[in-house]
Amino acid sequence: MELFIYVFAALFSVINPLGTVPVFVGLTEDHSRSERSRISLFTSVNVLLILIISFFTGRYILQFFGISIESLRIAGGLIIVTSGFALLTGSFSKHKGMEKKRVKDDVEQRDAISMTPLAIPMLAGPGSISLLISLYEEYSASERLLAVLAILAVCVATFLMLRCAHYIVGLLGASGINAVSRIIGFIVIAIGIEYISSAITTILWSYS
């Protein structure tokens, strides 16, 4: 259970579906309730598929390019830290390449937004993918099963938040969402620093 909670908390913080809520509301303001529900479901399913595929195949991609797990942890940690700073400074959407005008122009050319820009890059970004690849290398077969269940739980939570996005915005308002995002940003920074420090410690021990 501790492993499940750890993976869920870490992945949920890095994905930060709450930070996607304002973007989702803006992109679906002209959609009906049923259409918003469908987009929420498809987005969550796309995120689940991306994360599961990354979790199980990421190690082979690393082997193909000759990248060590310590290098991945440092690179992923840096990405996670920068995402955390973006949350703290209120520039999360810009950090994800989601400037409002650019998003609106892009969406006008698309029939569906559940894959991009919502699933990628807003939710299943480089930070969450590198986090899962690193976790895969650390866990045994039974622990990986718990990790998959945690991934599924995060995607279910993401679906519920997107499904209730308009209610969340109405309840918390922009200031409330920004306040919660800044708290999450602090946690995300700590997660990133932890991955960087553990990788550096491993490298130093290997040379000692």
Domain containing 111 equals 2-203
Instruction: Convert the pLDDT of each residue in 177-204 to its tens digit.
Output: 778 778 877 887 888 898 889 889 888 8
d(CA 146, CA 126): 22
What pLDDT score was predicted for residue 59? 84
d(CA 77, CA 73): 6
- For 189, what's the count of Cα atoms within 13 Å in the CB-facing half-sphere? 13
Instruction: Convert the pLDDT of each residue in 27-79 to its tens digit.
Output: 887 788 899 999 999 999 999 999 999 999 988 888 888 888 788 888 888 88
H/E stretch holding 134: helix 126-138
Residues 6+ apart with CB under 8 A from 56: 136
d(CA 40, CA 149): 20
d(CA 177, CA 179): 5
| DSSP label at residue 125 | -
Let me know: does 151 contact 157? Beta carbons within 8 Å.
no
pTM recorded for the entire structure = 0.77
In-domain check, residue 95? yes
Residues 6+ apart with CB under 8 A from 106: 117
Number of neighbouring beta carbons within 10 Å of residue 189: 20
In-domain check, residue 208? no
Nearest to 15, CA basis, from 131, 183, 94, 180: 131
For the chain, the average pLDDT equals: 83
In-domain check, residue 197? yes
What pLDDT score was predicted for residue 42? 94
Name the domain count of the chain. Answer: 1
In-domain check, residue 52? yes
In-domain check, residue 153? yes
Number of neighbouring beta carbons within 10 Å of residue 57: 12
In-domain check, residue 9? yes
Report the helix count and the strand count for the chain, using DSSP H and E. Answer: 9, 0
- In this predicted structure, the answer to whether residue 168 has a pLDDT above a threshold of 80 is yes
What does the pLDDT average to over 132-158?
92
Q: Is 80 exposed, middle or buried (0-12, 13-18, 19+ CB in 10 A)?
A: buried
